[in-house]
Structure 1
Amino acid sequence: MLILELVITSFASCSALGNETDKIALQQFRSLLTDNSAGTLASWNDSHHFCQWTGVTCGLRHQRVTALNLDGQDLAGTVSPFIGNLSFLQYLNLANNSLHGFIPPEIGRLFRLRNLILSHNTLGGGIPSNLSQCLNLLTLELDYNYLHDHIPSEFGLLSKLQKLSFSNNNLTGPIPASIGNLSSLQVLDLLNNSLIGGVPVSTSKTRLKVFLVSENELTGGFPSANLSSLNIILPNLQTLVLGDNQFTGPIPDSLSNASNLATIDIPLNNFSGRVPASFGRLQNLKWLNLLQNFLGSGTTDGLSFLADLANCSNLEMLDLQYNQFKGELPVSVGNLSTQLKQLLMSGNRIRGSIPEVITNLFSLNRLYIDDNMLTGNIPMSIGRLSNLHYLNLGQNKLTGHIPSTIGNITGLIDLYLYNNSFEGSIPLSLSNCKSLQEILLCHNKFTGTIPSHMISPSSLVTLLNVSHNSLSGPLPPEVGNLKNLISLDVSYNQISKLYMQANHFQGPIPQLGGLKGIRFLDLSNNNLSGQIPEFLVNLSSSLQFLNLSFNNLEGEVTVQGIFGNTSAFKVDGNKELCGGIPELHLPSLALVSLALVFWLRNLKEEHLPTHSLGHFYERISYDALFKATDGFCSSKLIGSGSFGSVYKGTLGPDGRIVAIKVLNLQQKGAFKSFLAECKALSSIRHRNLVKILTACSSVDSHGNEFRALVYEFMGNGNLDMWLHPNDEQMQLKPWSFLQRLNIAIDVASALDYLHHQCQTPLVHCDLKPSNILLDHEFTAHISDFGLSRLVFESNEDIFWSHLSSSAFKGTVGYIAPEYGMGVHPSTSGDVYSFGILLLEMFTGRRPTDNIFEDDFNIQKFVKSAMPKRATGFLDQSIFCGEVGESSDEQADWSDCGIDKAECLLSVFEIGLTCSAESPNDRKDMNGVARDLLSIRDKFLKTRVHEDRVQSPAPSDTLEEAA
């Protein structure tokens, strides 16, 4: 009895100790998390037993934690290594959160663990090999993270594992052969990584049902050459996805021995030869995707396998697009499964006519046979395909009329018949197709008119292209009721009347010069802007009446063509128009120019104080800028960007050299960028911001609107040309660590001023090396900050107009990731760009360098190199020869001095912090500027002999540098 009591007492003591261990582990786990939802972890306190905490499940007998499920709880932070102390844990699910950092190797101690699910987070680093110690694992899901390095070969020890999912990471190396030891494995998902090599022979030992390896860099044949048959391997396989790799050779005939196959998805590879006829034995096959390979027998019977596929009675999708199939489309196509929903055969060499029997496939919702060599007519029975939504027969040699039975396909959404030789009229029956959105009938021989019944007020049409036909008569006025219309092209026809009034059309008047027979054109009551285009003058031989009234048109009205007859056109309600014949009573161009001079003068007096800008040219005309740049000669061109080109010019009697930025008004938002830049630049004063001298808003010699900004000239070009000189600029290098640091401080100081010291904070939104200009003393000046918007609501439209323009598309690599998700601009976006800029300055690598692919970026590049302190990843001139010319990646930074090594490490830490993925993890520019100044002070104190910057001569002028 005494012994029994001792055992019970000892057992109770151990149980209590275990409970306390679990509680401490959970508390430590909680301490590293942020509960963004402000509710999930609210119960995790001493007022509740830890077994009652949200997401925690305990065993009934010992009250030990057996499951922790916090899936989708909006948690952030890192996973504590204390998780490894929950020794009774069987189920761990932290998926669909915002966890970062590394997977703790301590999880490998959880020998009872059956399910480990960490997918859809931002976890990084390698996959800990000691997870292989969790010998009871059934499920291991780490997909949708930022994991890298190899798949540990030790995972071959997990003999009970049924599901392994590592998709959408940055994993490299081969698929380990030890995978073959996973005799219970049913699902292997390695999609979207950077895996190399072939599919290991050892997979034959598994019970795989699902094999997903698409979007990798796998090579060779499939299966491996020494696997002669699938009769004994992968007998349970149901889903095979190999797309977007580099597999070669024929599709093995033995693949059909995996009789349970329902999905074969192998697009975007280099498979060649015939499609195995034995696929007809796959009774469960639903999905066969062979897109973009090199398949085809090379003979005219390349599609003979379709007769065999007729036995696949469950087939729903067949994609043969962009291969090398030749010959006629066999009548056996009509014997395919009646459940077939998609038949896609674009981009092959299929000849002959469309067989009538194809309409037996009454379940089809998508039929693509475009970009082939088909001839003959569309079968009259096409109307039997009543479930069809998408029909593409474009780019063939089809002839005849469009059958009226096409109107029976009432659910049709897209109709593409372009680039054929169809003739006759567009069938009235198309008006029955109420769901039509895109209609491409261009480049045919259609005659007659566009049926008005085809275009109802409730129409969903977004794209209508009937150009390059022989259509005549008026464009139906119902076109004006197409509320969803995005693109309309009726050019190169004989349309006589075009009525587009009372819509919400925006932008310049579209190019309609192809409408040579147009007699009546009404574009009134819209939001059209810009100048009246010249092609309207050239249409005067046919055009009898033109109505442009009540838009937002501007500039001078010509007196030529139809504009010489006041009864033939209307332009009232356009407040910015001038000139024209006297009967219009519009202000003269001279009067408008005079008003512009006064506007510029007021702009100068009220917003551009001369003490901040230096000399301000009160009068600047297009002619003056034309002369200053020798007619905007290409030899004067010194740069170009998303919103315009920059020329070097000479102004005034003193021959002052300036930079003239001519805005590209074809870019959306250029006018707003002009106004925003004038206003923003006029009221700020900082030594590291480029100065505006004046502005020009006029018309050029062709009557087109013209706007330009005149800046102070910077003699040493921009930072980009110093970081990445071309062959003609190699003499620019080297330049030192201290010079780079000084420029970084200049840029940080300017951003600090814009963000924190202006009356209204300014966001740059487009910081990059080419926007950092260097004067003769190598002081850095930020340019183009006028393209940003003021951070308050009234100017929100300025920013978003830039965001949707090519201004952002042209600077990939520097844009904060949150902008791509529609987040409003903020100063932290500039901080991100500065962080990337800082890393680029000291590594010498652009963020768009070829080595940065998929999710591997400049930040990860620096992070991976910092622990080694290797010089191989640095710009080799960074210490002006002190490191030497060697590119040995094993050389240590300390070879050039401990002081520089420590300072360089600090610079990289700032760059990484500034370019953090989350805006909340970034510094502000005030702190960044202070930190960089501290680094410079430390550096100068320890290296007194470098107490001044040596300019990287020899060039003093931009022409010599470039």
Structure 2
Amino acid sequence: MRFWLVLQQLALILILIITTDALNNNNETDHVSLLAMKSKIFDPFGGGALSSWNESSHFCNWEGVLCGKRHKRVTRIRLSSLGLSGTLSPHVGNLTFLRRLVLYNNTFHGEIPNEIGGLYRLKLLALEANSFHGRIPASLSHCSNLVDLFIGYNNLVGTIPEEFSSLSMLKEISVHENNLTGGIPKSLGNITSLELFSAGGNLFGGTIPNNLGQLKNLIFLSLDYNQISGTIPSSLYNISHLNVLSLAFNDLHGSLPSYIGNMFPHLEFLQLQVNNFTGQLPNSIGNLTKVKWLSFNKNEFSGKLTVDFSKLVNLVILRLQLNSLGSGDFDEMHFLESLTNCSSLEILNIFSNKLKGVLPDFVGNLSSNIHFFALAGNQLQGRIPPTIGNLVNLSLLDLSNNRFTRPIPSTIGKLQKLQRFSLAQNQLSGTIPDSIGNLSLVNDLYFSINNLEGTIPSSISNCQRLIALGLEQNNLSGTIPKELFQISSLSILLNLSHNQLSGPLPSEIGELKSLVALDISNNNDLSGEIPGSISSCTSLEFLFLEGNMLQGSIPMSMEFMRGLQFLDLSSNNLSGQIPTFLEKLPLINLNLSFNYFNGELPLHGAFANSTSVSVYGNDKLCGGIPSLQLPRCPIKKLNRNFFFSSKRIYAIVGTSILGILILISSLVFYFRKRKRESTTTLELLPKESFVQISYGELLNATDGFSSNNLIGTGGFGFVYKGVLDQIGDVAIKVLNLVNPGATRSFIAECKALKNIRHRNLVKIVTCCSSIDFQGNEFKALVYELMMNGNLEKWLHPSQDTSRPEFNLLQCLRVAIDVASALDYLHYQCEPTVIHCDLKPSNILLDQQMVAHVGDFGLARLFHPEMGISHHSTSMGVIGTVGYAAPEYGLGSEMSMKGDVYSYGVLLLEMLTGKRPTDLMFVDGLNIRNFTSQVLTGNVIEIVMDPVILNGDIVIGQRDNCLIAMVKIALACSEELPQNRMNMTDVVRELQHIKKVMFK
């Protein structure tokens, strides 16, 4: 008996020894796995988060690592928002005790390793806000204890794995803001534990699966910004616990069931905007008593709005714009009375519907919190009720494009927080009330296209934050008050055209130094000369003075209006010769018709194109280009003795000989240089093979390099659109080899792009260096075609192109895309690539408005051992004026910090809509300190681009977003390179802004 007892004790000791050894081995496995992970991670701060991951302490004490108390195995890794980059090592799959892996808000790239599926104890996987690409690994379905899966804000592609249906404990799936395709898997309906499914901002198509209605625990469902079609399945209305239902920005259609408001007692956010829904808005919407946000805008809803909103006491935002709501009944607007009970209401947007009837007096009883009220684009009539003055917190009031009559109520003077105010395109009469001067914060004021009369009140000069004023097409009379020209904030538009204004243009007009567009045309009784002081309006791009009685000559001082693009002086009494300085201005359109100009017409600039200039009705003009069909000018007789002076003959002959010698030496130098460059080209072109495309194929692809296919020009060549049989649509950059730097640019771009691939970089198809059919050297680069052109055309469209919508969210997305590209070039490439010429024209936008950085013709490569390459660009300052870092002008070496500076300027340009070379930036003012005003005062509406300020976002939230972006831009564009952010931090901060502001 004693023998067996001793034997049992020995056995227990042996088991304990074996178990201890196994645990020690497993501990070592964790140790090795963590070090393997560290080897794949780049920590830009050096001694930062991973500095403690070394042998001086046990791995359980490393930063971001948590171990279990019993077995000392790794159970948690949390390395969020630390600016880390690199890839996620497959060794993570060996951490078999891991329950939480949190890496969100960094810049990790590469694929999510399949080995992660070995973490069968894993409950939380948070990889959001990184740059992971590739497919979602189906092996995650082996993580049977997984509860929360957050992989949004990455670059993932493919579909959601069907295998996820086996994850019986899964509560949250977040895959939003990726590039996922396919449909929403029906198998998700089997995960009955699911509480959150966020899949917005992808490329999902198909329909909403009917069996999603089985998810009885679902609280949050977001499928917005996809390509989902069909109708909302009836089963979805059975998910009674929903707090958020967002199906916006899809292709859904059909009508909403009459019972929809009875099915969601907990619903707080219902977002159905930008779809194709039809029919009447169901009355049961009035039963969504918890709702805070209702968005039905931009659909095809119609009929009378009979919803009783009085029970929606939590309602903050109601968006109904861009539908066909309306019936024509006398009580059409009665629904507004029920909205007076919604004491939390802040935004009410009903513009562009078919509402008729009158605006009732009880509109003044709406929530005291309302700051956005838009009824524009309806058919409302009668007076504007004076009670509108009760809405004292309004920052936007838009009643334009209706049929309102009678005078403007003086009570509008109570709306002292108004920033945007429009009554344009109505039938208002009477005078502009003096109380308009109380609107000291107003930025945009439009009373155009009405029947207003009387004078322009001088009290308007109190509106010292005005940036745009439209009073055109009324019956205003009297002189233009000089006080109007003393509103120095006017920077976008001043339009007084088509009135009955009289008298001279005040000399104070020159005080509008920041104004871009001035239209005082067609007033008939405006007289006197054009003031010479107008030349101080150095920001003017549009000047319309036609249809008046102006006289005298064109002031010579206008030579300094170097930004002028459109000038119309037609139908006046102007006289004298047309000054030749107009040739030097960047005029796109010049109209001088029906005046009394005389003498010879200039030949250059706008005068060289008959479609750009008009001079009809000036009978004493002569010369000009033949297509203008003006009479020839008289030939001036010259002194015959001039040609027979021996001194002049010697001078002419000597000058000719000297010129010939210079020409010959230049040609010899040029051809020697071309020969050297041709030899260099063969040596420096990348050895890696691109797609082989011949000169003949490129010729056919572009219809013989037809001007119809020309889509851009640059410093080193021309860009054509083409179609190649084996590839499809492409952009072809043909180098102009007469330019001395073209060959170097070609080599630099081929070398820079030969091995790099990133979602936000332009993909090069091939570098083509050959001989054309005439035996001439031919070099071209072939890229993938970007369907939405370059960012320059979105920020600064030409006059014949309407300004495209480029709202704050799009701006933020482009900013993140460009920053991600630079972060990749700076920290994830071998060798490092320094772009050296970042600007809007070098940022291309694809069909989904994803930004791609292109044009690497000035790029430099940085090898740690060899330093920065110098053969890749021409000599001199690198980059473009306004975007190039200041240290480059002092001869400093090109660096990543120079790219950061250019990025900062680019971001400021996107936010303000102004080029860094804008003529307003003089006397120490530049785009940086101009924008910095946002941080020191309440000037967001003045500084920021008005297009950026539009969009579906609460103004306070919008302003916070703008301020945060401005701070980043300013930190990037610091004068001293060492004070600038790095692109890794920029990406992280911008992604955080997007996550917080645009949930």
Do both proteins adopt the same fold according to a TM-score greater than 0.5, normalized to the shorter chain? yes
What is the aligned partner in structure 2 of residue 448 from structure 1? Answer: 454
Alignment of 1:317-328 (within 5 A): 317-327=317-327, 328=329
Alpha-carbon deviation of 1:736?
Answer: 11
Tell whether the 8 Å contact from 2:246 to 2:271 is kept in structure 1 after alignment.
yes
What is the aligned partner in structure 1 of residue 395 from structure 2? Answer: 389
What is the aligned partner in structure 1 of residue 337 from structure 2? Answer: 334
| Cα separation, 2, equivalents of 1:135 and 1:766 | 40
- With over 3 angstroms needed to count, the CA separation of the structure-2 counterparts of 1:523 and 1:251, relative to structure 1, is farther
Report the secondary structure of 2:525's partner residue: coil
Tell whether the 8 Å contact from 2:44 to 2:83 is kept in structure 1 after alignment.
yes
- With over 3 angstroms needed to count, the CA separation of the structure-2 counterparts of 1:222 and 1:534, relative to structure 1, is closer
Tell whether the 8 Å contact from 1:750 to 1:782 is kept in structure 2 after alignment.
no
Which one of the candidate residues 346, 363, 366 is aligned to 1:358? Answer: 363
Alignment of 1:344 onto 2:349: yes
Alignment of 1:311 onto 2:311: yes
Tell whether the 8 Å contact from 2:510 to 2:537 is kept in structure 1 after alignment.
no
| Cα separation, 2, equivalents of 1:718 and 1:450 | 66
| Bigger Cα displacement from structure 2, 212-221 vs 326-335 | 326-335
Which one of the candidate residues 10, 18, 25 is aligned to 1:17? Answer: 25
Alpha-carbon deviation of 1:536?
Answer: 6.2
Tell whether the 8 Å contact from 1:751 to 1:925 is kept in structure 2 after alignment.
no
Alpha-carbon deviation of 1:417?
Answer: 0.8
Which one of the candidate residues 254, 257, 268 is aligned to 1:262? Answer: 268
Tell me the amino acid that sits aligned with residue 245 of structure 1.
Answer: N
What is the aligned partner in structure 1 of residue 494 from structure 2? Answer: 488
CA RMSD of aligned residues (A): 5.7
Which one of the candidate residues 200, 213, 219 is aligned to 1:191? Answer: 200
What is the aligned partner in structure 2 of residue 218 from structure 1? Answer: 228
Tell me the amino acid that sits aligned with residue 445 of structure 2.
Answer: I
What is the aligned partner in structure 2 of residue 290 from structure 1? Answer: 296
Tell me the amino acid that sits aligned with residue 291 of structure 1.
Answer: N
1:640-680, CA deviations, whole angstroms, 9 ceiling, x for partnerless residues? Answer: xxxxxxxxxxxxxxxxxxxxxxxxxxxxxxxxxxxxxxxxx
Report the secondary structure of 1:495's partner residue: strand
| Bigger Cα displacement from structure 2, 416-425 vs 190-199 | 190-199
Tell me the amino acid that sits aligned with residue 358 of structure 1.
Answer: V
Tell whether the 8 Å contact from 1:244 to 1:268 is kept in structure 2 after alignment.
yes
What is the aligned partner in structure 1 of residue 474 from structure 2? Answer: 469
Report the secondary structure of 2:133's partner residue: coil
Which one of the candidate residues 145, 168, 171 is aligned to 1:162? Answer: 171
| Bigger Cα displacement from structure 2, 14-23 vs 775-784 | 775-784
Alignment of 1:78 onto 2:107: no
- With over 3 angstroms needed to count, the CA separation of the structure-2 counterparts of 1:28 and 1:779, relative to structure 1, is farther
1:361-413, CA deviations, whole angstroms, 9 ceiling, x for partnerless residues? Answer: 13321111111111111011111111221111111111111100111111111
Alignment of 1:419-458 (within 5 A): 419-456=425-462
- With over 3 angstroms needed to count, the CA separation of the structure-2 counterparts of 1:734 and 1:422, relative to structure 1, is closer
Tell me the amino acid that sits aligned with residue 51 of structure 1.
Answer: C
Alpha-carbon deviation of 1:625?
Answer: 12
Tell me the amino acid that sits aligned with residue 345 of structure 2.
Answer: L
Alpha-carbon deviation of 1:267?
Answer: 0.7
Alignment of 1:4 onto 2:12: yes
| Cα separation, 2, equivalents of 1:280 and 1:118 | 40
What is the aligned partner in structure 2 of residue 178 from structure 1? Answer: 187
What is the aligned partner in structure 1 of residue 744 from structure 2? Answer: 753
Tell me the amino acid that sits aligned with residue 161 of structure 2.
Answer: P
Which one of the candidate residues 692, 706, 722 is aligned to 2:700? Answer: 722
| Cα separation, 2, equivalents of 1:178 and 1:914 | 49
Report the secondary structure of 1:194's partner residue: coil
1:508-552, CA deviations, whole angstroms, 9 ceiling, x for partnerless residues? Answer: 98554334322355461754569999976974x355899775871
| Cα separation, 2, equivalents of 1:212 and 1:527 | 53
What is the aligned partner in structure 1 of residue 135 from structure 2? Answer: 126
Alignment of 1:516 onto 2:524: yes
| Cα separation, 2, equivalents of 1:818 and 1:97 | 14
Report the secondary structure of 1:264's partner residue: strand
Alignment of 1:73-152 (within 5 A): 73-152=82-161
| Cα separation, 1, equivalents of 2:449 and 2:483 | 23
What is the aligned partner in structure 1 of residue 682 from structure 2? Answer: none
- With over 3 angstroms needed to count, the CA separation of the structure-2 counterparts of 1:361 and 1:686, relative to structure 1, is farther
Tell whether the 8 Å contact from 1:362 to 1:384 is kept in structure 2 after alignment.
no
Tell me the amino acid that sits aligned with residue 94 of structure 2.
Answer: N
1:924-954, CA deviations, whole angstroms, 9 ceiling, x for partnerless residues? Answer: 89799xxxxxxxxxxxxxxxxxxxxxxxxxx
Tell whether the 8 Å contact from 1:689 to 1:783 is kept in structure 2 after alignment.
no
Tell me the amino acid that sits aligned with residue 314 of structure 1.
Answer: N
Tell me the amino acid that sits aligned with residue 9 of structure 1.
Answer: I
| Cα separation, 1, equivalents of 2:16 and 2:323 | 75
What is the aligned partner in structure 2 of residue 777 from structure 1? Answer: 774
Tell me the amino acid that sits aligned with residue 275 of structure 1.
Answer: L
Tell me the amino acid that sits aligned with residue 225 of structure 2.
Answer: E
Alpha-carbon deviation of 1:278?
Answer: 1.5
| Cα separation, 2, equivalents of 1:217 and 1:276 | 25
Alpha-carbon deviation of 1:151?
Answer: 0.8
1:408-464, CA deviations, whole angstroms, 9 ceiling, x for partnerless residues? Answer: 1111111111111111111111222221111111111111222222222x7211111
Report the secondary structure of 1:259's partner residue: coil
1:325-364, CA deviations, whole angstroms, 9 ceiling, x for partnerless residues? Answer: 1224332321222322222211111111111122211332
Alpha-carbon deviation of 1:253?
Answer: 2.9
Tell me the amino acid that sits aligned with residue 201 of structure 1.
Answer: N
Q: 5+ unaligned residues in a row in structure 1: which ranges?
A: 577-587, 594-622, 632-680, 691-715, 785-798, 838-846, 860-910, 929-962
Tell whether the 8 Å contact from 2:485 to 2:512 is kept in structure 1 after alignment.
no
| Cα separation, 2, equivalents of 1:112 and 1:195 | 31
Alignment of 1:682-697 (within 5 A): 685-686=673-674
Report the secondary structure of 1:352's partner residue: coil
| Bigger Cα displacement from structure 2, 79-88 vs 321-330 | 321-330
Tell whether the 8 Å contact from 2:100 to 2:125 is kept in structure 1 after alignment.
yes
Alpha-carbon deviation of 1:91?
Answer: 0.8
Alpha-carbon deviation of 1:25?
Answer: 0.8
| Cα separation, 2, equivalents of 1:332 and 1:534 | 45
1:814-836, CA deviations, whole angstroms, 9 ceiling, x for partnerless residues? Answer: x9997689989998559999xx9
What is the aligned partner in structure 2 of residue 888 from structure 1? Answer: none
What is the aligned partner in structure 1 of residue 406 from structure 2? Answer: 400
1:533-575, CA deviations, whole angstroms, 9 ceiling, x for partnerless residues? Answer: 9976974x3558997758715899x999876699xx9999x99
| Cα separation, 1, equivalents of 2:403 and 2:571 | 44
Tell me the amino acid that sits aligned with residue 303 of structure 1.
Answer: L
Report the secondary structure of 1:296's partner residue: strand
**Alignment size in residue pairs:** 707
Tell whether the 8 Å contact from 2:222 to 2:245 is kept in structure 1 after alignment.
yes
Tell whether the 8 Å contact from 2:494 to 2:517 is kept in structure 1 after alignment.
no
Report the secondary structure of 1:351's partner residue: coil
Report the secondary structure of 1:338's partner residue: coil
- With over 3 angstroms needed to count, the CA separation of the structure-2 counterparts of 1:534 and 1:89, relative to structure 1, is closer
- With over 3 angstroms needed to count, the CA separation of the structure-2 counterparts of 1:721 and 1:410, relative to structure 1, is farther
Q: 5+ unaligned residues in a row in structure 2: which ranges?
A: 1-8, 586-598, 605-621, 630-668, 679-693, 710-721, 753-761, 782-789, 807-813, 827-832, 874-999
Alignment of 1:460 onto 2:457: no
What is the aligned partner in structure 1 of residue 69 from structure 2? Answer: 60
TM-score by length of structure 2 reads 0.61
What is the aligned partner in structure 1 of residue 379 from structure 2? Answer: 373
| Bigger Cα displacement from structure 2, 182-191 vs 717-726 | 717-726
| Cα separation, 1, equivalents of 2:50 and 2:278 | 56
What is the aligned partner in structure 1 of residue 663 from structure 2? Answer: none
Alpha-carbon deviation of 1:750?
Answer: 6.5
